[in-house]
Amino acid sequence: MSIDGIRAAFNDPNLDGPGQLWTHVQLSLIALGAASVVGVAAGVVAARSRRRFAAFTVVMVSNLGRTVPTFALMALVVALTTYGRGPALWALTALGVPPVLLNTYAGVRGVDPGVVDAARGMGFTPAGVLTRVELPLSLPLIFAGIRISAVQIVATAVLAAAVGAGGLGVLILSGLANGDDDILLAGAIPTAVLAISFGAVLTIAQFILTPRGLRPRFAAHLRAPSTPSPSPTEEDPSS
């Protein structure tokens, strides 16, 4: 096992590491995009609904998505349809929806009612309240859910190789089957780097798109030096 061996395994024409990497990226991006759209839309609808079971439904769906194994879901879709990208995308999307759904619901529900009432008093339509008040204030939580979803999807997309969808899992499964650590790491290392890269890019996007007043201040705002408190005056013993 060496760096040269891992590089050679990744560039092996029979394994097609660069092509499998691109397939992995495509699967992850498509599943993440679909999960984000479904999760945000469902979360907004549930948060703005006045029905009591909306919160219960959101929590139940979120817990169900974390409980059902992704590979079992892929196998179920394969049994009902066929092998290929379709089952992998369905399963990865289902895996990515719960974090986005839960965070969107919590973010929209957590907006200060006074801010919403003020926006309505200024003449904002319901759509204007949602797009100009509730969603901007919810962006930090929503992006946190998307970031969690992205890391989960990229890591779990390795299983897509088992249903004929390709991806870096092809190298990992081949390495496991042949007992070759170089091939195994040629798939595992790019998967880890890809997951970290997705998380970093979404963190930067979250910072850019979050309203300036809600951005974390880190150490930009220096605290004013504290002035020493005056010492208590001693009483005159002659008084």
Region 85-111 average pLDDT: 86
Least confident piece of the model among 70-79, 123-132, 164-173, 195-204: 70-79
Q: Is a pLDDT exceeding 70 seen at residue 5?
A: yes
Region 86-106 average pLDDT: 86
Q: Is a pLDDT exceeding 70 seen at residue 30?
A: yes
What is the pLDDT confidence band of residue 28, given thresholds at 50, 70 and 90?
A: very high
Q: Is a pLDDT exceeding 80 seen at residue 93?
A: yes
CA distances to 122, 138, 207 from 133, rounded to whole Å, are 12, 9, 17
Better-predicted residue by pLDDT, 93 or 239: 93
Better-predicted residue by pLDDT, 126 or 65: 126
Region 160-189 average pLDDT: 86
Q: What does the pLDDT read at residue 176?
A: 86
Centroid of chain to Cα 232: 56
Q: Is a pLDDT exceeding 70 seen at residue 55?
A: no
CA quadruple 223, 228, 230, 234: dihedral positive or negative?
Answer: positive
pLDDT, averaged across the chain: 79
Please report how the helices 17-48 and 169-178 are oriented relative to each other, as an axis angle in degrees rounded to 10.
Answer: 120
pLDDT digits over 205-214, tens only? Answer: 888 877 676 6
Neighbours of 153 (CB within 10 A): 25
CA diameter of the chain: 100
Q: Is a pLDDT exceeding 70 seen at residue 224?
A: no
CB 103 within 8 A of CB 149: no
Q: Is a pLDDT exceeding 80 seen at residue 114?
A: yes
Q: What does the pLDDT read at residue 35?
A: 92
Q: Is a pLDDT exceeding 50 seen at residue 223?
A: no
**Phi, psi of 238, rounded to the nearest 5 degrees:** -80, -15
Size (the chain), residues: 239
Q: Is the pTM of this model over 0.85?
A: no
Report angle CA 124, 128, 129 to the nearest 5 degrees: 80
Question: DSSP string of 84-145?
Answer: SHHHHHHHHHHHHHHHHHHHHHHHHHTS-HHHHHHHHHTT--HHHHIIIIIHHHHHHHHHHH
In the chain, the domains with their CATH numbers are 3-213 (1.10.3720.10)
Q: What does the pLDDT read at residue 10?
A: 83
Question: Which ranges of the chain would DSSP assign to H, the alpha helix?
Answer: 3-10, 17-48, 53-67, 70-80, 85-109, 113-121, 126-129, 135-156, 169-178, 181-209
CA atoms within 13 A on the CB side of 12: 17
